[in-house]
Chain A
Amino acid sequence: MSEKKILIVDDEPSIVLSLDYLMRKNGFRPFIARDGEEALAIAGKELPALVILDVMMPGMDGYEVCEKLKSDPLTSSIKIIFLSAKSGKEAIEKGMSVGADKYLTKPFNTRQIMQEVVNLLQ
């Protein structure tokens, strides 16, 4: 079985660094996008199993990326985890309403996020 692809979308290099290492160590194949456009491009090309998506990014925000992915039949089955510093109730509700499968807040726990990824992909 080939390694499952995971797309990490965040504009903060240090966060990408940790997530990238985490995914590799747990046997996934991570791809990195720094903003919404790049994320959509890579998702359409690589069709990852799951996307870890930041909300606040320059240009297109995470909600929009999520909506686009979910509305395109090609990418609609991709699981999406929001990972955001926005921890308010409204932000979480909005995240779920645009079709996310999970909403996690920063700072995150590496074990917990791994657990969620594994759960969603089973």
Chain B
Amino acid sequence: MVGGFIIVSLILYLALLFWIAYKIDLSKKWRKRVSGSPVIYALTLAVYCSAWTFFGSVGAASTYSIEFLTIYLGPVVAMPLLWIVYRKIIRISKAQGISSIPDFISTRYNKNSTLNKLVTILLAIGIIPYIALQITGIERGLETCISWGDKSPSDLTLFGFFDMALLVTVGLGLFLIAFSTRQLQDNSRNTGLIGAIAFESVVKLVVFIVFGIYVCYYIFSSQSEIYQLIPEEGLKLNTTNNYSQWFGMIVLSGLAFLFLPRQFEVGVFSVSNENQLKKAAWMFPLYLVLINLFVIPIAVAGNHFFSGSGMDEDTYMLALPLHHEHTWMALLVLLGGFSAASGMIIVATHAISKMFANSILIPSFIDRPFILRRFRGRHHKIPVFFRRISIFIVLLMAYFYYKLVAIEYSLISIGLVSFIAVSQFAPAILGGIFWKHGNGKGAFAGIIGGYIIWFLFLVIPTLFGGGIGEHIGFDAATIENNHGAIITTVFFWSMFVNVTLYIFISLVTKQSVLERNQAEIFVEIYRYSESVESSVVWKGKAFFPDVQSLLARFLGQQRANYELLAFTEKNNIKLDEDGELDLRVVSHVEKLLSNMIGSSSARILVSSVAKEDKISMEDVVDILEESQKLMELNKELNQTSRELKRLSEALKSTNQKLKKNDLLKDEFLYTVTHELRTPLTSIKALSELLADDDGMPDETRKEFLETILKETNRMTRLISQVLDLENFESGKHQLRISHSDINELIVYCTNTMDEIFKKKNINLSISLDDTLPVIELDYDRITQVVINLLTNASVHSDSLKGKILVETRRHNNLVVVEISDNGQGVAEGMEQAIFEKFFQADGRRLKKSKGSGLGLAISKKIIQLHEGKIWVEKSELNGAKFIFTLPFQQNNFIVA
């Protein structure tokens, strides 16, 4: 394939990345969309899949059998930890202004700048070869494409001078310089960079799937055709029986997934809300499944065509289309591989250079006069300047590593060596957020111990092809051949040493005061994340103008003022323009600076303007107690105000109830007088007519007199019922309790009503439960209730074929009495209202119901006094069924 053509394609692809990042950074709308999106978050996590995945999985599948899957099973298993571990780390980082792994570890452990530098250097040592590996991946891809079919040694230089790998490195360096320092310049996240990475993840996935389909259905006719090749071509699909090796690999890749600097960068420091984690927990595993879907068919196909030809298995992906002279497909694969490699290079370099600048360069130079002079008036350029230098240094180191240390080994081996290096930080980080006793000395010893094992048994044999390793049976060839076993063995021993040292030394040495405070905050972050701002473990004096100008140097005057104002207002701090500053402000300024230039530099700068006093244990206790007290006071205040609110609400509702009662009373009075007026009207009119008697026929006179009598009775009944009700309500009426047989009472009542039933031709049936006990009740009052209900039933039951059913039964400790009729029943929605006085709760008034309108209200009152209940249902006879219950024993009533 023509080199120039490839170069142009790569340049176009890079240009596309620039364009995407630029567009996103430019538009506020897009920045918002990208930074909050769970999909973008899951895609950026896929930066885990580097060139190693893209080319190396096929290579591994063709040589090492399906063990390659462990590298993906690890992250899938680690997914739930995203919510448990990452969320906690995110909270802590936000609260403490942390933006890198070394800052995270050193902030937890004593704010120790040596530890900070150590972690940075060790991480760089672990990761830079990994970056170099990606350059190798690109270079091998290019080489395979360009030299395909050539017998002569390939020429990978442009015009015989520019190395293509260098060109790619420079291109990515430029991208980083343009987009990885955005956060420093205008406080936005590196959203453009994130968007570009997500885009690269889409490219590599799509290319891999397209290529898989191409192999399965274009080169071959179906997947099954490929699988038939397996036995003869000898893909080692037989799984190893070594489960501990599988387990080790899964744990290793799970830890690497969580703690690789590039994963931390996209997974922790680029999160804008915690909900992004939830969706990623299923989206990212799905991504891994998809990208592995075609690994085995491709590997088998590769073996089929190239087995025994001495072809590097890692280049099968390119060799397959080239062999079939499908140049376009080869180019597509090359671009896919490039997207995988460049994504990793970009994020890893971004992360490492940030650490390098924040932990090493800036702290060393920040207070040097020549630097300060050089950046006079624009100090905020200092971090950007050093970040760019770091990018340059990191990429240069990776490039030279790639150039000088010939990488002889498969992509996957070097990746795993890197994984082990990175996993050495897992105990310090996990211990830091879950174990309050873990301390800096322990972390220090653990990391060093683990790294020594790693270096002795993996790096030296890899680098020097023997050396110390040879003496103990580990040379380069052994590693290459038994890589799985050796990787897991070294992983186990390095972790064993690391964890043991960490725990042991943490237990035997003491935490410093500051460390204890940080441990408390880290482990209990969910409790403190809001109050962490106001509990400052720092003692000293700082003056407003100094701190303000310090902040302004890095944020610019305007933003510095804004930040100070916002913080002081939020925390109710009074700012004295010339005077001593509240310590919370100092601490907040340190946090702001730390976000930009790392915790070590921030500390140096803050102590340069603030005179720090030595802090004693008593001070810490005081400070913690004070903030505790404040919180308690606050709680108390809240409680009191809640109480007050509750009381005033109760008062309001009582008032409303009283008002309503008043209204009800008025209405009642009105209704009573009105009800009295109707019979009175008749009586008066009829009496007048009788008085004017001039030749009134005798029958008429008799009829008039009878009506008068009836109306008088009506008035009497009404008056006595009103009085009854009034007496019940005011408590003047008391029950006269006796032990009575409710069945006997019912029989008595029905006998009393017998005449009326007969007259109305009503069929009465009675069904009584003989087992009912003798219960306590007021015989006369319950009789009143039963008679009232029977009267109602007789009035409302069917006028021609009336039926009434009376039943008693027991239910738990209750006697239940039911009186059913076959009348119209109670209208729906009126079941409550009929028990109200005159049935007129809100003006619904059915005048001329055949009774006074007080019977049910009185019945309800009586039953309530007996601690029973009364209600109405639809009866089996299709009419109304009135039910009331009486407890066997009375508790609260007053026996008269």
Contact = CB atoms under 8 A, between A and B. Distances in A.
Contacts of B683: 107
Interface in B659-679: 674, 677-679
B700 interface: yes
Interface string B411-451: 00000000000000000000000000000000000000000
Interface stretch (A16-24, A37-45, A66-74): A16-24
B570 to A, nearest CB: 59
B786 to A, nearest CB: 29
Interface string A72-91: 00000000000001100000
Contact of B848 (A17, A58, A85): A58
B847 A17 contact: no
A97 interface: no
A33 interface: no
Contact of B681 (A22, A85, A86): A85
B866 to A, nearest CB: 34
Contacts of B710: 14
Contact of A19 (B684, B685, B704, B848): B685
A111 B692 CA distance: 10
Nearest to B688: A110
Contacts of B707: 14, 17
Interface in B846-876: 846-848
Interface string A31-63: 000000000000000000000000011100000
A2 interface: no
Interface in A86-117: 86, 106-111
Nearest to A14: B682
Contact of A18 (B680, B682, B846, B848): B682
Contact of A14 (B686, B688, B845, B847): B686
Contact of B677 (A14, A17, A107, A111): A107
B64 to A, nearest CB: 93
A3 interface: no
Interface string B832-856: 0000000000000111100000000
B688 A106 contact: no
A12 B678 CA distance: 8
B703 interface: yes
B689 interface: yes
A18 B677 contact: no
Nearest to B679: A14
B222 to A, nearest CB: 83
Interface residues of B, number: 24
Given A11-B848, A12-B848, A57-B847, A85 B678 contact: yes
B711 interface: yes
Interface of A (DSSP majority class):
loop
Contacts of A19: 685
Given A21-B700, A107-B680, A15 B685 contact: yes
A109 B678 CA distance: 14
Contact of B685 (A56, A57, A107): A107
Contacts of A111: 688
B703 A109 contact: no
Interface string B682-704: 11111011001000000010011
Nearest to A106: B681
Q: Give the residue among A18, A22, A58, A106 with the most B Cβ atoms within 10 A.
A: A18
A60 to B, nearest CB: 13
Contacts of B700: 21
B682 A12 contact: yes
A1 B846 CA distance: 42
B348 to A, nearest CB: 87
A56 B686 contact: no
Contacts of B845: 56
A18 B685 CA distance: 6
A23 B846 CA distance: 29
B703 A17 contact: yes
B853 to A, nearest CB: 13
Contacts of A85: 674, 677-678, 681
A107 B681 contact: yes
A11 B845 CA distance: 14
B666 to A, nearest CB: 13
B847 A109 contact: no
Given A17-B707, A18-B682, A111-B688, A106 B848 contact: no
A108 B846 contact: no
Q: Give the residue among B679, B680, B682 with the most A Cβ atoms within 10 A.
A: B682
Contacts of A12: 678, 681-682, 848
Contacts of B674: 85-86
Contacts of A18: 682, 685-686, 689, 704
Nearest to A110: B688
A92 B842 CA distance: 22
B712 to A, nearest CB: 11
A21 B689 contact: yes
Contacts of B685: 15, 18-19, 22, 107-108, 110
A97 to B, nearest CB: 20
A111 B686 CA distance: 12
Q: Give the residue among B685, B686, B707 with the most A Cβ atoms within 10 A.
A: B685
A21 B848 CA distance: 22
Nearest to B695: A25
Contacts of A106: 677-678, 680-681
Contact of A110 (B679, B680, B692, B847): B692
Given A12-B682, A17-B682, 9 more contacts: A11-B848, A12-B681, A14-B682, A15-B678, A56-B847, A58-B847, A58-B848, A85-B681, A107-B680
Interface of A: 11-12, 14-15, 17-19, 21-22, 56-58, 85-86, 106-111
8 contacts: A12-B681, A15-B682, A18-B704, A21-B689, A21-B704, A85-B674, A85-B678, A110-B692
> Top 8 closest A-B pairs, CB basis?
A14-B682, A18-B685, A107-B681, A106-B681, A107-B684, A110-B688, A85-B677, A14-B707
Interface of B: 674, 677-686, 688-689, 692, 700, 703-704, 707, 710-711, 845-848
